[in-house]
Amino acid sequence: MTNNNAPLDALPHAERIRSRKLVDGVATIIADATGLGADERAALEDELRVSALAQAGVKEARIALTASTPKRTVIAIGSGKGGVGKSTVSSNIAIALARSGKKVGLIDADVYGPSQPTLMGNMTKPSAANDQLIPVEAHGLRFLSLGHIVSPGQALAWRGPMATGALARLLDADWGDCEILVVDLPPGTGDVQISLIQKSRPDGAVIVSTSQDLSLIDAERAVDLFNRTQVPVLGLIENMAGYICPHCGGESDPFGSGGGEAGAERMHIPFLGRLPLSLAIRTASDAGRPPALGDDADGTAFTAIAKRVIEALEKVRS
């Protein structure tokens, strides 16, 4: 048996190579692929193999890629009640964070009403590699949703284990170098929420509600779930707060006024701000152009709330 390391000294990507050896014509190379996407990993493996085989004495090249799992910040966005605009808030907060320079992933865990493909304007089906889903990209971030996989209009008649299994697939996807994962949860306090907490405990949770008492009653239940499981509640967002008539300019409050701020105070959590009941937000969302992409009043409202979410996260970590 011969053992000669010298011919392998000229390999590319030296900063990623963790070990190399040549035994009886077989080159074994272990390289660190942390932070690389699937295509980049494949390219790294090919380059190392080609380079090794081109060297004297090498008859076979075995390449092993390893990667340390980066610590990602997970922000769960939930609501006790459906119909409060939680998914719209989730996508726009994710985009606002991405526009601020952060590397962001968005998971649509609302398994019974996956709307992120529509909101993000991308219905492309994700591919897979090494038994991992590869997120699709839109508006400067990566995202995954069951809405990519299930045909439009198809009912998801799933029991709890199937829903939680789907969540696991989304969480275990190839998120590459994403620093932050924003998780759009289904309404309520059921299997998906508990599975997320058990599998990938969020660093913080954001609650979305309207000012209406019925919505706030259920929001309080969502806050209680996170409190009981030691997930910091970063604050409450009051959505659909106020409406300005596009014809007469008059203001009204179909869902009440000030209830979100009062509810946050009662629940002893921060109040993160208000978002209007806006025709422009609805139109842009349906068209797959999230308002956070713009710098108008609606866009800056989401940007301001995203900034407060990060400030609240830093505060609970300090």
Report the C-alpha gap between 170 and 133 in whole angstroms.
7
Residue 81 domain-assigned (yes or no): yes
Q: What tokens were used for 74?
A: 């997970």
Q: Kindly report the CATH number assigned to the domain that includes residue 114.
A: 3.40.50.300
- Domain identity same for 261 and 195: yes
Taking 60 as the threshold, does the pLDDT of residue 3 lie above it?
Answer: no
Report how far apart, in Å, the C-alpha atoms of 236 and of each of 36, 119, 232 are.
35, 22, 12
Question: According to the 3-state scheme, what is the secondary structure of the chain?
Answer: CCECCHHHCCCCCHHHEEEEEEECCEEEEEEECCCCCHHHHHHHHHHHHHHHHCCCCCCEEEEEEECCCCCCEEEEEECCCCCCCHHHHHHHHHHHHHHCCCCEEEEECCCCCCCHHHHHCCCCCCEEECCEEECEEECCEEEEEHHHCCCCCCCCCCCHHHHHHHHHHHHCCCCCCCCEEEEECCCCCCHHHHHHHHHCCCCEEEEEECCCHHHHHHHHHHHHHHHHCCCCEEEEEECCCCEECCCCCCEECCCCCCHHHHHHHHHCCCEEEECCCCHHHHHHHHCCCCHHHCCCHHHHHHHHHHHHHHHHHHHHHC
Q: What pLDDT score was predicted for residue 257?
A: 79
Q: What pLDDT score was predicted for residue 62?
A: 93
**Mean pLDDT throughout 199-226?**
94
- Domain identity same for 212 and 259: yes
- Domain identity same for 253 and 158: yes
- Domain identity same for 256 and 169: yes
Q: What tokens were used for 277?
A: 């009941």
Q: What's the total number of domains in the chain?
A: 2
Q: What tokens were used for 201?
A: 């405990």
- pLDDT for 250-309, tens place per residue? 778 887 778 899 999 999 999 999 998 888 899 999 999 999 999 998 999 999 999 999
Residue predicted with more confidence, 166 or 231: 231
Residue 236 domain-assigned (yes or no): yes
Taking 80 as the threshold, does the pLDDT of residue 202 lie above it?
Answer: yes
Q: What pLDDT score was predicted for residue 157?
A: 67
Q: What pLDDT score was predicted for residue 210?
A: 93
Residue 1 domain-assigned (yes or no): no
Buried/exposed code over 34-53 (b: 16+ C-beta within 10 A; e: otherwise): eebbbeebeebbeebbebbe
Q: Kindly report the CATH number assigned to the domain that includes residue 45.
A: 3.30.300.130
Q: What pLDDT score was predicted for residue 70?
A: 64
- pLDDT for 131-164, tens place per residue? 899 999 999 999 999 887 776 766 666 677 877 8
pTM metric for this prediction? 0.78
- Domain identity same for 164 and 30: no
- Domain identity same for 166 and 234: yes
- pLDDT for 20-53, tens place per residue? 999 999 999 999 888 777 788 899 999 999 999 9
- Domain identity same for 40 and 84: no
- pLDDT for 59-110, tens place per residue? 999 999 887 666 799 999 999 888 899 999 999 999 999 999 999 999 999 8
Q: Give the range of the structural domain holding residue 24, as residue numbers without chain letter.
A: 6-66
The answer to whether residues 136 and 204 touch, using CB atoms and an 8 Å cutoff, is no
Taking 50 as the threshold, does the pLDDT of residue 1 lie above it?
Answer: no
